[in-house]
Amino acid sequence: MPPQPATPAAQFTQLLSATRRGARLARLLTVEQIAEWGWPRDSERAEAVAVVVAELAANAIVHGRLPGRGFRLSLVLLPGSRLRIEVTDPRGDVLPSVSGVADEGGRGLVIVDALAAEWGVRPYPPSGKTVWAEVGSVRLGSRTDGR
Ligand SMILES: Nc1ncnc2c1ncn2[C@@H]1O[C@H](COP(=O)(O)OP(=O)(O)O)[C@@H](O)[C@H]1O
Ligand SMILES: [Mg+2]
């Protein structure tokens, strides 16, 4: 647990269409926003953030889509150079699950799990959900706990 409540230093939110174009926009807007917040564009962290957003947005438009509804991207800059990515979709009735079976489904959440310090899902009342992931200041590749 962090010693202090995580008060956002800055925040970006955008509603997007649940289409491939919307998912692509989510990634492009993210790249621009974190550059504006001073994360070097070609840094491992910035690349990790772009990949995580791309995977979560792809899942929102494929698995979390409801006709006529969009999805929402939020980026929350937290103290300690942590970034929380939040992707909200309208389907709270189906949830992400990382498949343990090698040939089943894609690798999107496996990649998210590898790149994010933490990730999870919370309800977005009344009927949606938010899939969130935090990319921290810890150097990628330095993890030694086997996760
Ligand atoms: N936003 C979401 N809403 C509902 N189900 C999801 C969502 N994201 C992921 N899932 C579920 O988790 C599974 C694993 O996701 P992922 O690893 O990205 O693989 P893929 O998208 O290729 O199936 C998906 O097949 C889907 O069943
Ligand atoms: Mg996926």
Domain extents for the chain? 10-135
Residue 141 or residue 26, greater confidence:
26
pLDDT in tens, 41-56: 999 999 999 999 999 9
pTM for this one?
0.89
> Which residues are placed with Cβ below 5 angstroms of ligand 2, an ion?
59, 106, 108
- Going by C-alpha positions, the residue among 11, 96, 86 that lies closest to residue 53 is 86
Give nearest CA residue, ligand 1 atom 24.
Answer: 96
Ligand 1 site, residue 131, Cβ cutoff 6 A? yes
Ligand 1 site, residue 108, Cβ cutoff 6 A? yes
127 is written with which tokens? 């009927």
Ligand minimally distant from the alpha carbon of residue 89: 1
Q: Compute, in angstroms, the gap from residue 5 CA to the centroid of ligand 2.
A: 31
Residue 116 or residue 106, greater confidence:
116
What is the per-residue pLDDT for 18? 98
In single-letter form, the type of residue at position 5 comes to: P
CATH of domain 10-135: 3.30.565.10
What is the per-residue pLDDT for 81? 87
CA angle, residues 72, 78, 83, in degrees to nearest 5: 55
Give nearest CA residue, ligand 1 atom 3.
Answer: 64
Give pairs for 121-128: CB < 8 Å, separation 24+.
Answer: 121/95, 121/96, 123/92, 124/88, 124/92, 127/90, 127/91, 127/92, 127/93, 128/88, 128/89, 128/90, 128/91, 128/92
